[in-house]
Structure 1
Amino acid sequence: MRHGLAFAALLLLPLASHAQTLHVAPGGTANGTCDASSPCTLQSAQARVRTLRAQGRNDITVQLQDGTYRLQQPLQFDASDSGSYGHSVRWQAAPGAHPVLSGSQLVQGTRNGVLWSFALPSNDAPSSIYIDGQRRWPSRTEACPHCVVDAKGLSKVPPAILHSLRVGSLAVMHERWRDFRCSVVALGRDRVDLAQPCWRNVTLDSVKNGWSVASPVGKYYAGVDWFENLAGDPSAPGGYTVDTAHHVLRYRPLPAEAAHAPSIELPVLEQLLVLNGTLKAPVHDLVFSGITFAGTEWRKPASADGYVPLQAGYLVDGNSRAALPDNGEGMTRIASAVAVEAGRDIVFDRDSFQHLAAAGIALAGGTHGAAVTNSRFTDIGGGGVFAGDTEGHPVDPASKTSDIVIADNHIDHVALAYRDNVAIMAGFVNGLVIAHNTISDLPYSGISVGWGWDYEGEAPVQSSIHIVANRIERVMLQLADGGAIYTQAQSTPGTSCVVRNVTDMRHSGEGNGIYLDEHSTYFDVERNVVLGAWISAWASWSGHLRITGNWTDDAGKPHNAGPTKVWSPNFTHLITLPAAALAVQQAAGARDHAIALGLPIHVNRMCPAP
């Protein structure tokens, strides 16, 4: 086991003598024979895999040739698409190929004076488009710092802003660790009414702990950041508006684009790949390797529910709540391009997630054994990787996700639209390794694990949480009350740790290097390099925390000593790092040649040695 990682690192089993390879290509046909000379479609290959598996065939590989596969609907997998236990079905890039599963359409436009015009397939206003691989955002207004909040929406909206709005425009604002979007449903003389229940949930207060500070009715309210989905023509280069009545998008090109042929990539699908098993019939033994997932849309923020997060991409919907946050159960999660529900032994290795409207991948709903390794996440509207669930004590213990490995990934420039999201977000998980990831350039936290605050009682709600040897920098660039590594909730004693990570907050916004928030209990935090900030464990209801052997250039004072918190020895006020800290710094982050995980996937109960 390299670097003491607490999971099995077995090589994938070699292909048996009766192994079979199916070949697919963007130009493949439904009646192709799925061999190299007559490749078939993805859907035809999926049907062939099901037939072969029903015949008892094992060790099947679906090989994707180079090019872009434009999906008309998401690929849906269930138990019938599974491998056999110990013999995975592999969906992988052909040697030297870089296949892209895309949910976008290539749309050609026309010139209309200085503008480009594009016919849209529906009256939806896309949340972003792409030109030459670069994301373009809808036109925005200036900020409205003096907009006044009331029960129906916002008043004292300046005329210059009001005249650019229409029904369907979105009001965008953030408060502390939360980011909000509600659509305009009516315009008045100096005001806008905002969609319900979106606006009600935005301003909803909490039972306790003062969550109103993180809403527009709290003391940190600084107005509306901007409105988007505007009326009229775009005024600034690089922006667009949509005439929803006539299904026309108008784009004002940047000077360097003006001579180009008008064309855009228009994201349409909300998901690309869905693995949906059940607890009794899980989808299992699948490997996806060398594939790029790109080009998704997400329409929910324009709905009546809007976008109202509780924290980190988990959302408050509907009219059912009288106060927040309760225990955080019953929340919906931001959409993801790839979703795994009730999976067993699922691996994503050396894949790429980019140009996505919402999140990258989610492993949840009673998934037991899944890994995301050696992959790249960038240019994503929401979070990179989601794992686990928000129910602390489910009736069926099997519905709580377990044995998840997220390792050796590069994750940066995510949460571009939904700023409360993080690179890696885990709810309640029994057995989670987050190791050797390189994470940077985020509006909020880098890694967040746990849920429930102090609402889940005194019994453990998670176990074997191992956050090991990650490198995190340039985070907390827009929001507040977070950190490079953030934890919540009570773990099973003696099983969870934060060790050998490097968190560099010197070029970040205000935040903590490691933030053991609220009810974080039974974590060992050892031999981390924490620069430009320190470790916080402020809540009196957190405890049984061992915070020792860490290096920092900070003063390193205990935030809240508490009777069950060990805060020494640590190495503080450092001007230069000692050799042991430099060794931790050198080893942290994604490794270039990490070995892919084999099956089955199992997380060791105990933490690796610090």
Structure 2
Amino acid sequence: MTVRAPSSWPWRPLAALLCAAALLPLASQAQTLHVAPGGSANGACDASSPCNLQAAQAKVRAWRAQGRNDITVQLQSGTYRLQQPLHFDPADSGTNGHPVRWQAAPGAHPVLSGARLVQGARDGALWRFALPSDDAPSSVYVDGRRRWPARTRACPHCVVDAKGLSNVPPAILHVLQVGSVAAMHARWRDFHCRVIALGTDRVDLAQPCWHNATLDSRGNGWAVASPVGKYYGGVDWFENLSGDPLEPGSYTVDATHRTLRYRPLPGETSRAPSIELPVLEQLLVLKGTLKAPVHDLVFSGITFAGTDWRRAASGDGYVSLQAGYLVDGPRQGGLPDDGEGMTRIISAVDVQAGRDIVFDRDSFHQLAAAGITLAGGTHGGAVTNSRFTDLGGGGVFTGDTEGHPADPASKTSDIVVADNRIDHVALAWRDNVAIMAGFVNGLAIAHNTITDLPYSGISVGWGWNYEGTAPVESSIHIVGNRIERVMLQLADGGAIYTQAQSTPGTSCVVRNLTDMRHSGEGNGIYLDEHSTYFDVERNVVLGSWVSAWASWSGHLRIVDNWTDNAGGPHNAGPTKVWSPNFTQLKTLPAAALAVQQAAGAREGRPESALPIRVPSLCPQP
């Protein structure tokens, strides 16, 4: 006789659930790994025995190979001093709808650092530090504040010749050495070339750096904005000097003895000597291929800090074309008119051939070069709710420099850069901008707050007027950003700068606030050269106006914007619509005040959902 339990017995649903749970595949069970700065390579990666980053990465790869999903790596507070960059490839990927998450533990503030904490000794009025190599660091940090190498005063009368500079004053020449660096600028371009020989009143500069700095193109006139052009105003400074530093807060390097000498500020003299010495150039590199992208990854709540970049000390030096894109290698036939073939400034975080990669609520600071790049055929990427400050280069780079690639899949697409705060960047490489995009199909730059820059705030497009008549970009949406105090050192730029021809009906600049009243020379919105098929609507432009000067730009709608400027058409052209706009305003109307109030980074915005797609059509103005 079989006895059946009544269906109302309480254990039966529980038993059924337990049985079902036992049968669930591992892929559906969320798993968390725990990481700590002092974690062991052999740790269990659990809360009681956290492991290090490399062990967690190995475990993620093993789990993913087994088909497990919903993996989270939690980083506890502290500084993770990397001996080499973290490299991610397709084996580190999540799966559709189930990204692998690398994130701060609740309430934690993890820092991925490429710097070493170096203890020093007092040497009279100076502090002395042993260096791991004879290379001079581009900057160091004392109490979290950047300290620059010692610099000379400007040399406005230094004369340019084929080998370098003559008419160098004796007082400057006295402190120079082989390995010093000359820094100068012309309009929108920045140049840094190493000294390779000293004469009685001159210095020779490294090649091909100096050759490329003075090189022209066939038709674009790059030499106009170069040391041989009419805008050359002399050398801004020399750095990497010999002897002891004279100015408090500066340092020099004795390469022979691998020693850094620092002259402390008055408030630092009573403290034990220590510096943060940046060593690594990069912190995190994600690299896939077009056929096998690295994909479905989220990095959240992490600070990236402590990089160095010694490009200026190389033979190539730093020769900018525009906005962090550089000329390198021997150039025999002149610079390309369209700017293709350039090298992008290095970034602490670099994503190449990625898909659906998210950086949310992260922090980028104390970096020698740029913050983050998403390029090289990356399709689906987001940088949101993050903070960028104290960077030598720009904040966010995306897009590519080839307008018509043989494989269309190699052109980056569907990138979101939203609700970030970016200020005090491009401190070393002055032509850089807060957000720079080359050729890209699908880009939303929305509600960022951008301030205090030597050059432009947002720059999109590439190629000037040398890319033919077919569109080279599409769906460029620049919406709701707040930009002020830009163009503080360089010229010929603006708060928002565009280039190149877009697919008709897809690209726009709407509802932004650009305030140039406390900025340098520049435009509120600058539709430069071959900017084509952009709608510019309902923007508040203060202290400046919209420029669309080139006769080869066109199909532009510049309407319903508010400005305190006279606001006249700038080269009207047969396909440019310049009215109605609201100009010469003493006070802003309610609609303009609403745009002004809403512009900039918003608090509490959600992380980007996957997959990341930018709509083809612009949001309503």
Q: Give the TM interval when normalised to the shorter protein.
A: over 0.9
Question: Which of the numbers 412, 418, 434 marks the counterpart of 2:445?
Answer: 434
Give 2:61's aligned residue: 50
Instruction: Tell me whether 1:193 sits opposite 2:204 in the alignment.
Output: yes
In structure 1, the residue corresponding to 2:165 is in which secondary structure?
A: strand
Cα deviation for residue 321 of structure 1 reads: 4.6
Q: Give 2:251's aligned amino acid.
A: Y
CA deviations over 1:470-523 (Å, ceiling 9, x no partner): 000000000000000000000000000000000000000010000000000000
Assess if the C-alpha contact under 8 Å between 1:482 and 1:511 holds in 2: yes
Post-superposition shift, 1:16?
A: 8.1
Matching of residue 410 in structure 1 with residue 421 in structure 2:
yes
Residues 220, 337 of structure 2: 8 Å contact kept? no
The one of 385, 388, 400 equivalent to 2:411 is: 400
Provide the C-alpha distance between the structure 2 equivalents of 1:200 and 1:210, rounded to a whole number of angstroms. Answer: 15
Which residue does the alignment assign to 2:328? Answer: 317
| Structure 1 Cα separation of the partners of residues 223 and 524 of structure 2 | 25
Q: 1:390 aligns with which of 389, 401, 416?
A: 401
The answer on whether the counterparts of 2:446 and 2:480 sit within 8 Å (CA) in structure 1 is yes
- Measure, in 1, the Cα distance between the counterparts of 2:28 and 2:340: 49
Counterpart AA for 2:204: D
Q: Which runs of 4+ in 1 moved over 6 A?
A: none
Amino acid at match of 2:92: D
Aligned position for 1:180 = 191
RMSD over aligned Cα atoms: 0.8
Q: 1:130 aligns with which of 126, 135, 141?
A: 141
Rate the CA distance shift 1:76–1:413 in 2: closer, same or farther, 3 A.
Answer: same
Asked if structure 1 preserves the Cα contact closer than 8 Å seen for 2:27 and 2:67, the reply is: no
Query: 1:413-562 to 2 correspondence within 5 Å?
Result: 413-562=424-573
The aligned runs of 1:75-90 (5 Å cut-off) are 75-90=86-101
CA distance in 2, matches of 1:176, 1:207: 19
Mapped to 2, the partners of 1:379 and 1:93 lie a distance apart of 22
Matched residue SS, 1:61: strand
Alignment of 1:365 onto 2:376: yes
1:34 aligned partner: 45
Deviations 1:169-224 (A, max 9, x none): 00000100001000000000100000000000000112123222210111111100
**For the residues of structure 1 that align with 2:304 and 2:392, how far apart are their CA atoms?**
14
For 1:410 and 1:449, how far apart are their aligned partners in 2?
Answer: 18
Which runs of structure 2 are paired with 1:6-45 in the superposition (5 Å)?
18-45=29-56
> Is 1:145 matched with 2:163?
no
Q: Which has the larger radius of gyration?
A: 2
Structure 2 unmatched runs, 5+ = 1-25
After superposition, residues 260-279 of structure 1 pair within 5 angstroms as: 260-279=271-290
C-alpha distance in 2, partners of 1:561/1:573? 19
Aligned residues with identical type, % of pairs: 82
Q: For residues 577 and 212 of structure 1, what CA distance do their matches in structure 2 show?
A: 42
Q: Determine the C-alpha separation between the residues in 1 that align with 2:613 and 2:77.
A: 33
* Residue 320 of structure 1, CA deviation: 3.1
Greater shift after overlay, 48-57 or 202-211?
A: 202-211
Tell me the SS of whatever aligns to 1:200. helix
Q: Structure 1: how far apart are the matches of 2:285 and 2:220?
A: 37
Per-residue CA deviation, residues 455-481 of structure 1 (Å, 9 max, x unaligned), is 100000000000000000000000000
Q: Deviations over 1:112-141 (max 9, x none)?
A: 000000000000000000000000000000
CA shift for structure 1 position 324: 2.6
Q: Hey, what does 2:363 align to over in structure 1? A: 352
Distance in 1, matches of 2:223 and 2:90, equals 44
CA offsets 1:77-103 (integer angstroms, 9 cap, x no match): 000000011110000000000000000
Matched pairs, number: 596
**Equivalent residue for 1:62?**
73
Q: In structure 2, what is the equivalent of residue 12 of structure 1?
A: none
Q: By how many angstroms is 1:153 displaced?
A: 0.1
Q: How does 1:99-118 map to 2 (within 5 A)?
A: 99-118=110-129
> Quick one: structure 1 residues 489 and 321, their matched pair in 2 at CA, closer, same or farther if it must change by over 3 Å?
farther
- Structure 1: distance between partners of 2:91 and 2:222: 45
Partner SS for 1:308: strand
Letter in 2 for 1:380: L
Residue 461 of structure 1: SS of its match in structure 2?
A: coil
In structure 2, C-alpha distance between the alignment counterparts of 1:305 and 1:232, rounded to whole Å: 26
- For 2:214, the aligned partner's letter is T
1:110 touches 1:262 (CA, 8 Å); kept in 2? yes
Give, in whole Å, the separation in 2 of the partners of 1:416 and 1:465.
Answer: 27
- The answer to whether the Cα contact below 8 Å between 1:310 and 1:325 also exists between their aligned partners in 2 is no
Question: Structure 1's 321 and 591: CA in aligned 2 closer, same or farther, altered over 3 A?
Answer: farther
Instruction: Identify the residue that residue 214 of structure 2 maps to in structure 1.
Output: 203
Structure 1: distance between partners of 2:89 and 2:220? 42
Moved more, 86-95 or 208-217: 208-217
C-alpha distance in structure 2 between counterparts of 1:563 and 1:326, whole Å: 26
- Paired position in structure 1 for 2:174: 163
Alignment counterpart, residue 223 of structure 1, candidates 224, 234, 237: 234
Q: Kindly provide the amino acid, as one letter, of the partner of residue 478 in structure 2.
A: I
Report which stretch shifted further, 70-79 or 205-214.
205-214
Output the CA distance in 1 between the equivalents of 2:228 and 2:310.
Answer: 26
Alignment partners' CA distance in 1, 2:301 and 2:27: 22
**Offset from partner CA, 1:369-419 (integer Å, 9 cap, x none):** 000000000000000000010000000000000000000000000000000
Please report the TM-score for the alignment, with normalisation by the length of structure 2.
0.95
Cα deviation, residue 17, structure 1:
5.4
How much has 1:326 moved relative to structure 2? 2.1
Q: Per-residue CA shift, 1:299-330, capped at 9, x if unaligned?
A: 12110000001000000001135223421111
SS in 2 for 1:46: helix
Scaled by the length of structure 1, what TM-score is found? 0.97
